[in-house]
Structure 1
């Protein structure tokens, strides 16, 4: 049984989430983060990602309640029975991706991504990317609108919209998915081991500028991007029984 009675409530700026913050705080009490045994995040998936990133050093489980739109990472919102739901919740552990991007001016930018790291063309012409996996060049030139590397948790997000595969939680793999690939025209991407070190080199960077994005943190004019799983960081997400990520990932494939 987790310390469900010591709850830190965090909410997005939306009116719905702020109203929920007031109601739940009054009903269950609220403690500062440094005294909490669990975090309840009120908002949508974007706010959940921000909460996980912002509290990763605390190693606290996070239980999301949907006050947004899709809410793939969230549980259904209800004011009643929160303590019982927290005590019964199942925990999923997710490791983020670490991005290291180098820009045309030589600066290095680092960021973490729970869902995916993506490269996107930033001009009118298609991007040209060289793909290296674990030090071995696997594709000399991919002409495309972009490409991404996704975790299982993020595989139903941008990756799925780009026609990438849905990955089961615990499969210990990553998805490498192109966006609007022109050459090779029929290449649909690859499934890589979680331990893989992925490197993209941007070809003709001045003529075909590319930006990199890690869960909404963007870097423009990149010349190279390296991506790997950061296993030293563990994000703990709580779900109501029967509604965890495994079930959600399976359900998404039948709609």
Structure 2
């Protein structure tokens, strides 16, 4: 690889210094590196418009927390540019590089074309109002439906492939990908799934029932969630859409995927064990 693009959350501690270090190490190896100018950063905030990332880009390096990488995946969906995350956040399940030694090792491997790629499943959610689609977006982690009013319990009617499944009285209901299984889904008591898998987890959030359980679904399944009162759907905690009484949300596998650089020396099980032991 020779052409890189950096996406950094400059509000986080040590991120500006880390970005400067990565640029220096890349350029010393003859690589070219682009990133948003200060004016563009002020204009677009946490977003990176896809059209600003050059077509010759071979790898995007994100610097920050998992949220920085997820935002990059959403912004650049469909470009199939491999992503590598450098962790300057808290847990960093997605960001596999943290220390200077790991950064140095990763840059050397990338510039010498010694790396592996892993394709991550994404999901698509469509909001229906009076039977017509009115909003659609994608997610790498999860799509969640909650109340518009904090701490208000809603009643959700859930069906899978147009077959009734259950009613949930809960703070929310979410559909998570394998990548997102270690995020909101894990906090809500859902299962951990291997990131390269092709499946979805349907998980009630704080259900008011002892028999409400998370369910793992096949990638070809289609989930529909209806609300008894006004609700809100969020995509990776970023974009949102309001739901009125009678509206519904349909969630299914997206045709888009996120491509990630995977370090050969660290397996998913090792990464999971390291993070769970530190929670």
Compute the RMSD of aligned alpha carbons: 2.3
Q: Which residue of 2 aligns with 1:127?
A: 154
* More displaced stretch, 9-18 vs 194-203: 9-18
Q: CA deviation at 1:252?
A: 5.3
Q: Which residue of 2 aligns with 1:69?
A: 90
Q: TM-score, normalised by structure 1?
A: 0.86
In the alignment of these two chains, the number of paired residues is 245
**Unmatched segments (≥5 aa) in structure 2:** 35-53
Q: 1:8 aligns with which of 5, 10, 20?
A: 5
**Unmatched segments (≥5 aa) in structure 1:** none
Structure number with the bigger relative contact order (C-alpha 8 A, sep ≥ 6) is 1
State whether residues 88 and 241 of structure 1, in contact with CA within 8 Å, keep that contact through their aligned partners in structure 2.
Answer: no
* More displaced stretch, 162-171 vs 6-15: 6-15
State whether residues 168 and 249 of structure 1, in contact with CA within 8 Å, keep that contact through their aligned partners in structure 2.
Answer: no
> 1-side partners of 2:75 and 2:267: how far apart?
22
How does 1:24-173 map onto structure 2 within 5 Å? 24-29=22-27, 30-32=32-34, 33-74=54-95, 75-78=97-100, 79-86=103-110, 87-102=113-128, 108-123=134-149, 125-139=152-166, 141-173=167-199
* More displaced stretch, 28-37 vs 52-61: 28-37
* More displaced stretch, 19-28 vs 110-119: 19-28
> 1-side partners of 2:241 and 2:129: how far apart?
8
SS of equivalent residue, structure 1 residue 58: coil
SS of equivalent residue, structure 2 residue 24: helix
Q: Which residue of 2 aligns with 1:193?
A: 218
Change (3 A) 1:110 1:179: same
> 2-side partners of 1:252 and 1:26: how far apart?
30
Change (3 A) 1:44 1:254: closer
Q: TM-score, normalised by structure 2?
A: 0.79
Change (3 A) 1:224 1:252: same
Change (3 A) 1:214 1:188: same
State whether residues 85 and 240 of structure 1, in contact with CA within 8 Å, keep that contact through their aligned partners in structure 2.
Answer: no
